Amino acid sequence: MIKANYPVTKFEAIRTPFYYYDLEVLRRTLQEINHLTETDPFEVHYALKANVNPEVLKTIRDAGLGADCVSGGEVKAALDAGIPASKIVFAGVGKADWEIKLGLENDIFCFNVESIPELEVINELAIGQGKTAQVALRINPNVSANTHHYITTGLNENKFGINLSELDKVTAIVKQLSNIRLIGIHFHIGSQITDLAPFQDLCVKVNEIQEHFEANGIVLENVNVGGGLGINYEHPNHFPIPEFEAYFKIFREHLTLRPGQKLHFELGRAIVAQCGSLISRVLYVKEGTSKKFAILDAGFTELIRPALYQAYHRIENLSSELPEEEYDVVGPICESSDVFAKAYQMNGTHRGDLIALRSAGAYGEIMASQYNLRALPVAYTSDQLL
């Protein structure tokens, strides 16, 4: 079995479970993004919801990316990491007043707005601060993303965004709000999208919507197409860098930008997933009646994706080169859903072996919980373990 090139002897001395971030993989990913977008009017905002590890954030800031935030906490984390306010967009269906105020105080680039009542509240709070809030309308394009139903967001029945039928009403209201400046439109169709066709569908919809706006005398400076580019969970060693080239090409070729218009992206998973692994130790190998269980010291408290979305994460035994055998790889939490994989082929496994759950850099550490009164996981980077 091909495995990650990790400093296993260094790992031996560290208490498990912990997250490990290979910053070289992250830097290469960021270089690829910058290289592929440097000649286009494209701006990539990193979706902080995927991972806010300070070292990861700093590396992303150093590459010059902007930030996509969905809470006051994330806006703070982006500012603390040194990401300029002029590159911060703030989304979310339920922004609290203090969060909106924080964004206004710091003059963030844009609020992605999802409803009329939200527009009215932002306007009032902006009046209170004597500021003008820049907003983009999040429009629900009704495009299907062919991904897990928990993570598709662009369909009419989702709670997100403003429906196409409401658009004219909303723009009429925006015109009447004194301290709101409409600077763009925003979309997001879902996450872990590996079949790129839905992005092309999105481009077609965006073109239609832009024409509609123009016909009504409105030209917007910004189009934001959200995030969602998927990664290869099966083969992180062969495909550490996602399909950015094909992804950006779709937008370059199919979305018609107006002169001076900027196209914004909000990528989370595609930037950070492959640089991270959850490192765990085998506590026990238990023989069941018809199968073997490898019981790890990490569970869904550290990585909830398998339990919550039936997500696949590649599992590598970093300590063993023994012939492969089949295991149910499970955690220690007192719930039957605490299973990372069933009937999984792994090198012969013993107590104390180090296990890597791969592609866990996105929606891993950040979704950890203290259920069963477990400690939140710590994290190390490749730079720290050099």
The Cα–Cα gap between 97 and 110 comes to 16
Secondary structure of 138-161 as H, E, C letters? EEECCCCCCCCHHHECCCCCCCCC
Judged by beta carbon, residue 119 or residue 360, the one nearer ligand LLP is 360
Residue 22's nearest CA partner among 278, 249, 368, 233 is 278
CA distance 164 to 17: 46
Q: In this complex, which beta carbon is closest to ligand LLP, that of residue 67 or of residue 267? A: 267
In the complex, the smallest distance separating the C-beta of residue 311 from ligand LLP, rounded to whole angstroms, is 6
Q: Which is nearer to ligand LLP, 308 or 318 (CB)?
A: 308
Report the 10 Å Cβ neighbour count for 313: 22
CB of 68 to ligand LLP, least distance (A): 6
Can you read off the two tokens belonging to residue 339?
Answer: 């299973």
The span from the CA of 367 to the CA of 291, in Å, is: 30
Q: CB pairs under 8 A, 24+ apart, for 281-284?
A: 281/16, 281/17, 281/352, 281/353, 281/354, 281/355, 282/317, 282/349, 282/350, 282/351, 282/352, 282/353, 282/355, 283/332, 283/351, 284/351
Nearer to ligand LLP, 255 or 282 (CB): 255
Phi and psi at residue 112, to the nearest 5°: -85, 115
Q: Which is nearer to ligand LLP, 50 or 65 (CB)?
A: 50
Contact residues for ligand LLP, defined by CB under 6 A: 47, 49-50, 68, 91, 151, 153, 188, 191-192, 226-229, 266-270, 305, 309, 362-363
Nearest to 230 by CA among 263, 186, 198: 198
In this structure, the strands spanning 222-224 and 262-267 are parallel
Instruction: Tell the smallest beta-carbon distance from residue 128 to ligand LLP (Å).
Output: 27
Q: Which of 362, 137, 111 is nearest to 231 (CA)?
A: 362
Position 218: which residue type? Answer: I
Q: How far is the CB of 355 from ligand LLP (least distance, A)?
A: 20
Q: Closer CB to ligand LLP, residue 162 or residue 229?
A: 229
- Indicate the helix (H) or strand (E) that contains 174: helix 167-176
Our CB check for ligand LLP shows the closer of 229 and 355 to be: 229
Dist. CA 283–CA 298, nearest whole Å: 10
Nearest distance in Å: CB 305, ligand LLP: 5
- If the CB atoms of residues 50 and 356 are measured against ligand LLP, the closer one turns out to be 50
- Write down the least CB distance from residue 209 to ligand LLP, Å: 17
**Which residue number, 61 or 305, has a Cβ lying nearer to ligand LLP?**
305
- Give min distance, CB of 270 to ligand LLP, in A: 6
Query: What SS3 state is found at 362?
Result: coil
3-state secondary structure of 281: strand
CB of 158 to ligand LLP, least distance (A): 10
Least separation in angstroms between CB 224 and ligand LLP: 9
